[in-house]
């Protein structure tokens, strides 16, 4: 895989994170029951709120190393509705202030980071494409899936903010034969 330019690194991260942090906030605002953020898909997984908080954290854990700067400490421990929304607004402000010129890594400059208990060293392209974006979307998707499993009526349009389906629309799934 060839090295991405700093402009390409910016374009593939900051606008994406801004869009999906806004989608997380919109989903959270739409929740009638704040306690549903404590729902889990299965007992040994993160709650919906923890997944959304992790996604929020990944946005900053991605862009700050690409700028060769320390990641700001916006704790992701509080996963209640008001904390998630406040942190989402703070992240939006941080991301909105960034420009491609802030990204200053040399193409072969290593990024040292942790994945669970693993210590990784990747160049910026691999860090973004094989680690950061997949992990960000894992947590956004798992938060969404956990809410769906808990009965929250969110759909693809809520997830990506681009699809549209009329009220009451559902996909008819044929019975197995």
Say what the pLDDT of residue 107 is: 65
Q: What is the pLDDT, as a whole number, of residue 10?
A: 95
Give the number of other CB atoms < 10 A from CB of residue 150: 18
| pLDDT for 97 | 97
> Are the CB atoms for 55 and 143 separated by under 8 Å?
yes
Please give the pLDDT value at position 39: 97
Judge whether residue 1 has pLDDT over 70: no
72 vs 151: CA distance, rounded Å: 35
Q: How confident is the model at residue 131 (pLDDT cuts 50, 70, 90)?
A: very high
pTM of the model: 0.91
CATH homologous superfamily of 6-160: dinb family like domain (1.20.120.450)
The full DSSP string for the chain is -PPPPHHHHHHHHHHHHHHHHHHHHHHHHH-S-GGGGG-BSSTTS-BHHHHHHHHHHHHHHHHHHHTT-PPP-------SHHHHHHHHHHHHHHHHT--GGG----TT--EEEEETTEEEEE-HHHIIIIIIHHHHHHHHHHHHHHHHHTT----HHHHHS-----TT--PPPPPP-
């Amino acid at each position: 895989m060839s090295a991405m330019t700093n402009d390409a690194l910016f374009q593939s991260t900051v606008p994406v994170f801004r869009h999906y942090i806004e989608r997380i906030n919109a989903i959270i605002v739409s929740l009638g029951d704040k306690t549903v953020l404590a729902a889990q898909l299965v007992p040994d997984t993160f709650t919906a709120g923890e997944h959304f908080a992790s996604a929020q954290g990944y946005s900053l854990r991605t862009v700050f190393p690409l700028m060769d700067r320390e990641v700001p400490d916006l704790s992701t421990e509080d996963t209640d509705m008001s904390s998630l929304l406040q942190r989402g607004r703070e992240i939006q402000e941080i991301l909105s202030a960034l420009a491609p010129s802030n990204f200053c890594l040399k193409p072969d400059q290593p990024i040292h980071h942790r994945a669970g208990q693993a210590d990784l060293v990747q160049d910026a392209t691999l860090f973004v494409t094989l680690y950061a974006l997949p992990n960000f979307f894992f947590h956004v998707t798992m938060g969404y899936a956990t809410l769906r499993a808990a009965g929250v009526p969110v759909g693809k349009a809520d997830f990506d903010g681009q699809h549209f389906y009329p009220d009451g629309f559902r996909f008819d799934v044929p019975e197995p034969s």
